[in-house]
A and B are shown apart, each in its own frame.
Chain A
């Protein structure tokens, strides 16, 4: 269950028939991109080092596209995709993957749902046959749906109900997004999950699972020509089920006042504090905005050299941990998070004041050239390291393409980071770090007045 970020799609997905684009500039291996006649987009990412492939299908649908009142459905359907078709009954696909020594899994976020297998290169066509079959031929009975509903309820138990931090962040997300469906948990609200039916799943399936709403990504020991041939023989035969409109979600109104959420639970042994700011994503933002926020977040709170860690943990000794996060790969507006856990004897109020002071200083004075370059280099190195793993590359491409980015944008990311200036970062900080557009969450042991947060 991932919370990937989804961007506002204002463009119709134009169908390119026949021609393939070859991207040979920018970071990473040369990538080939083409579209089949039925609308399926295909991306090929070569890595010839070892005779292994990563085969992924990404659907442009996620939790944020669910019908109101049916949260958890996109993720539930992901589970149900494993329940078989007429041609390939339940269990056959997974048994086959296991028998051939492959690995498989699937995942759902707010913006996309993905399915993948990793196998030896000679099994690619077999994987395509199975995966293309379940794209539109799923068969479901109540006998398989009912136990799987229990499974996702247990998954919710594991991920959320048993975990105090997860319970708080779930409430914080709901508070950050009053109107936008990102406020719903991908796993779903329990009371809505309990009511999900076989009919709900099939209706959702028919609405979104069609080749013209999907991207096939194959990475590893393959050539583009091989993939094209095999894709046409398998996926190429899948008819379009429906047209899919561009995804337009209800947007957030302007936030006028800071919001807070306080969760108390006897299992909390140490209080902690986090805050989410609503900020643009790579897709929803203006050019350069998300890049600046990425660098801002790094300087602010990634790693031991960041401002929050240095000030709160090392210098003042107020906190045991402190940092920042930014999920920039998102169709719509996303969040920049800051967090800290106070040392015993330090109150949440003190820690919050210290965080606010760090943020205020950055907004007022900006960042140094040295910080900018150090952060930029570190981020760009991620792109080099990702090339070592075909699966990492495949996921990078899949998440970006299903949230409104293009291949050219993916490959030019390091260059766009290089274009960011200290003024850009300062402006991004001023825009983003506005407490009026934030939710602050407090995790405490016992409910009480605000002053008891110590």
Chain B
């Protein structure tokens, strides 16, 4: 079978020598590829659609526990033997579950690439899910959940997502609850792996000191025997709820943790880029955003405050957070609220817009200066369906956003009110229902 190499695209302009190639392996698996022989290593990232939204309703945390157990024994190797083989060859493998994906990274010295891909193959295709390993992972999960139960950041985040998406998988904690993780069995894990780790569900990026043909061969060895088709339960469309509401969770800590946010925008929405720029100006730019200036610089209310856009297949949010002392929490929330309203009403200034555009165009190169970052970009571009020439088109898309677009989209994005959760002992701040 021949190797199909198509669509060479320049990675950066002005060009360095690296180019993105879309490659299809002899076995028919597509991967995006950048050859870089500077350092003798190979870095791959892969993503399977599925993630925690595929957990059964009563077994939240299944996805995360399953992927954590994949390297706790596979093929003929028990957990200890598997880890020993990884360490002996300095192979780094991490597999994690997020809301909608199982994401993995594999990094290896070139001299050990065959062993690295072989161990990944075993973990994905022949995980053992021995009960001793499952119980070990369960007790680690339980320990983490117990710690989170008194951690204000975790409490606030969970409360926010549960209020934003009640009765929907997006509102459920990826790590599960103490009740739900107790119910997970090795058979549940086998079922999850079978359903989600499939070839039609998979995006791959490969970067490093390797040629396309060898990469294709190793990809086939690693992923080629996975089930052809995933069996995913459908996830309903949903809009974020709870706007205008505030939930206070009492906890005896000196600093209150605050999560705030509203509805976001789909990645493939024509206004996405304008929204991305507005978010950057409001709270996304670390030292240069309006929220940073008003909350931290001018008033000294917090060490950190930020917002970001998050998008999923069936909903999107703009979510942010901060933390401040108990007697300043009310003021902090008021300041944030006022900034959202102001931006919604007036949009950014032309100067802010120009500066944000220059930043967003120029800073992208900083996401491409290590092999692992490039591999990650290659996967994200595929997951978001942006096209292999996205990096070349991106600057023009940013430039195309006009001040009128920015004003219109700021109103669209920010006019709906905020859902706020606070954990701590915020003076003068109380729970109130949505629409308030």
Contact = CB atoms under 8 A, between A and B. Distances in A.
B372 interface: yes
A147 B358 contact: no
A148 B369 contact: no
Nearest to A90: B297
Contacts of B324: 154
A67 interface: no
B288 A47 contact: no
Contact of B87 (A146, A151, A374): A374
Interface stretch (A157-165, A284-292, A352-360): A157-165
Query: Interface range on chain B: under 10, 10 to 19, 20 to 34, or 35 or more?
Result: 35 or more
Interface size class of A (residues with CB under 8 A): 35 or more
Main secondary structure of the interface of B (DSSP, over half): mixed
Given A51-B365, A267-B150, A269-B147, A305 B84 contact: yes
B146 A304 contact: no
Given A50-B365, A101-B361, A389 B370 contact: yes
Contacts of B300: 146-151, 154
Given A94-B288, A154-B325, A270-B146, A101 B299 contact: no
Contact of B368 (A50, A91, A100): A50
Contact of A99 (B79, B92, B301, B359): B359
Which residue, A51, A91, A101, A148, has most C-beta atoms of chain B within 10 A? A101
Contacts of B297: 91, 147
Interface in B360-405: 360-366, 368-372
B296 interface: yes
B38 interface: yes
Which one of B143, B151, B252 has the highest number of Cβ atoms from chain A below 10 Å of its Cβ? B143
Nearest to B148: A269
B288 A98 contact: yes
B236 interface: no
A305 B80 CA distance: 7
B128 to A, nearest CB: 14
A51 B362 contact: no
B301 A98 contact: no
Nearest to B14: A51
B107 to A, nearest CB: 7
B80 A51 contact: no
B18 interface: yes
A162 B230 CA distance: 43
A390 B368 CA distance: 11
Nearest to A343: B139
A120 B303 contact: no
Contacts of B176: none
Given A269-B149, A385-B41, 11 more contacts: A52-B368, A82-B287, A118-B369, A120-B362, A151-B303, A161-B254, A305-B84, A317-B136, A377-B89, A377-B90, A385-B107
The 7 A-B pairs of least Cβ separation, nearest first, read: A101-B362, A150-B300, A147-B300, A381-B90, A157-B255, A101-B363, A269-B146
11 contacts: A51-B12, A52-B369, A101-B359, A102-B362, A119-B362, A154-B302, A270-B146, A317-B136, A344-B142, A381-B90, A385-B92
Interface of A: 47-52, 82, 91, 94-95, 97-104, 118-120, 146-155, 157-158, 161-162, 220, 266-270, 303-305, 310, 313-314, 317, 320-321, 341, 343-344, 374, 377-378, 380-381, 384-385, 387-391
